[in-house]
């Protein structure tokens, strides 16, 4: 359930300000049921989603996109407006245009924003290595962009088409060196609602998030979920047994 919405001043859509996951359990054929803890993500919160493979992290993000009921403050169901929700998949897909075209999705009027975006997502140094810079054509056959570079392009695209709520599935997992920390530091400084799936973050990066939800498999039949809350001043663990 998504609740706590307000009207978009520039359209008839209602802005998402809060998401609630309540009594959510999913099951696919020949697989164990995944039962999730009840939790709420409030306006502007940054949440880290972790856990072993197969515990339903990516499934949870997809459920938020397609299985969750959206409601307003008084409990009335509202039309799902996915334009407000950004989704960055594990394996970013680009099209055979220039890097610039992939960032602004052929909206040429947005080209002026590209230099600033390159710096925010740590893509500037990568682009400078190409003779044609942002006009470098993405070659899908030759893979002239690494996985990390493709992820940075998608992150830059997300910044162009600003979404109020962003779901990120390993969106920095292929990026090398110190760039992920700088990118995360930028993302958590925004007023967006962010849910990020990630592995192997150290305490410095984990501590940048408001909370961490860790999903843990407990048996072959059911998956239990543990909900970890972090702040700069204390840490607290709440466990949900399902």
Domain ranges of the chain: 2-240
Share of the chain above pLDDT 90, in %: 38
Give the pLDDT confidence score for residue 146 in this predicted structure: 93
Beta strands (DSSP E) in the chain are: 2-7, 14-21, 25-26, 33-35, 39-41, 46-51, 85-88, 165-169, 193-197, 211-217, 222-230, 235-240
Does residue 84 surpass a pLDDT of 50?
yes
Does residue 109 surpass a pLDDT of 50?
yes
* Separation of CA 197 from chain center: 7
0.85 exceeded by the pTM?
A: no
CB atoms within 10 A of CB 145: 21
Mean pLDDT of the chain: 79
Scan for tokens 């809060």, then name that residue.
18
The span from the CA of 156 to the CA of 183, in Å, is: 11
Q: pLDDT band at 90, cuts 50/70/90?
A: confident
Give the pLDDT confidence score for residue 70 in this predicted structure: 59
- Identify the helix (H) or strand (E) that includes residue 147: helix 147-160
Does residue 4 surpass a pLDDT of 70?
no
Per CATH, domain 2-240 is 3.40.50.300? yes
The span from the CA of 86 to the CA of 83, in Å, is: 7
Q: pLDDT band at 233, cuts 50/70/90?
A: very low
Q: pLDDT band at 73, cuts 50/70/90?
A: low
């Amino acid at each position: 359930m998504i609740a706590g919405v307000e009207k978009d001043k520039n359209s008839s859509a209602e802005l998402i300000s809060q998401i609630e996951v309540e009594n959510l359990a999913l099951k696919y054929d020949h697989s164990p049921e995944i039962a999730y803890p009840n939790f709420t993500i409030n306006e502007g919160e940054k949440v880290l989603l972790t856990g072993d493979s197969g515990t339903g992290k990516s499934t949870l993000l997809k459920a938020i996109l397609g299985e969750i009921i959206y409601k307003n403050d008084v409990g009335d169901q509202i039309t799902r407006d996915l334009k407000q929700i950004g989704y960055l998949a594990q394996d970013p897909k680009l099209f055979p245009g220039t890097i610039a075209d992939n960032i602004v999705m052929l909206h040429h009027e947005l080209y002026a924003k590209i230099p600033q975006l390159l710096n925010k997502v740590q893509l500037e140094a990568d682009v400078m290595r190409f003779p044609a810079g942002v006009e470098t054509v993405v070659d899908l056959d030759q893979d002239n962009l690494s996985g990390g570079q493709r992820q940075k392009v998608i992150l830059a695209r997300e910044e162009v088409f600003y979404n109020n709520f962003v779901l990120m599935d390993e969106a920095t997992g292929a990026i090398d060196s110190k760039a992920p920390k700088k990118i995360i530091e930028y993302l958590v400084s925004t007023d967006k609602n962010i849910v990020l799936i990630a592995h192997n973050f150290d305490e410095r990066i984990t501590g940048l998030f408001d909370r961490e939800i860790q999903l843990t498999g407990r048996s072959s039949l059911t998956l239990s979920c543990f909900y970890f809350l972090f702040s700069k001043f204390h840490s607290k663990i709440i466990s949900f047994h399902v």
